[in-house]
Amino acid sequence: MPQVSIRDQVKRLVDLQAIDAEIYRFKKELEEKPAYIEHLKRQYEETKEGLKGLEERFKVLQVDRKAKELELQAKEGDIVKANTQLLQLKTNKEYQAKLTEIESLKADKSIIEEKILLLYDEVDSVNAAIAKEKSFLT
């Protein structure tokens, strides 16, 4: 039987220790990976639900904006109509009342325009959030 030197034995023990450390690392990963994968799945589902909510919000904002734009067109039509009626009035009192009505319509129009601008800003913000969420999902 050939004799094995102590140096060879120590080298083999060091190699064995490295293999044991690698086995331990693999076992630890084997225990941790399923939990991490579950965490990623939950995170993915939450992001997907958040995206669905953002898309619904986007649709609602689009509908609101369209409604406000139609309301704005109606106000503009009312202003045009009131201006044409202004030419047909005979007394100064009627004329002043119609001017007051026109100013009120213009103020309403201005408020609607402001709301439309805010809706555009909100739509842009929701669009940016949707793009960000989609980038996480891919």
User: Average per-residue pLDDT in the chain?
Assistant: 92
pLDDT tens digit sequence for 39-65: 999 999 999 999 999 999 999 999 999
SS3 69: helix
Distances from the Cα of 107 to the Cαs of 17, 53, 70, in angstroms?
Answer: 83, 34, 16
Question: What mean pLDDT is predicted for residues 75-98?
Answer: 92
Question: What mean pLDDT is predicted for residues 107-112?
Answer: 96
Question: What mean pLDDT is predicted for residues 110-119?
Answer: 96
pLDDT tens digit sequence for 115-132: 999 999 999 999 999 998
pTM exceeds 0.95:
no
Listed in sequence order, the residues at least 6 apart from 133 whose beta carbon sits closer than 8 Å to its beta carbon are 47, 50, 51, 54
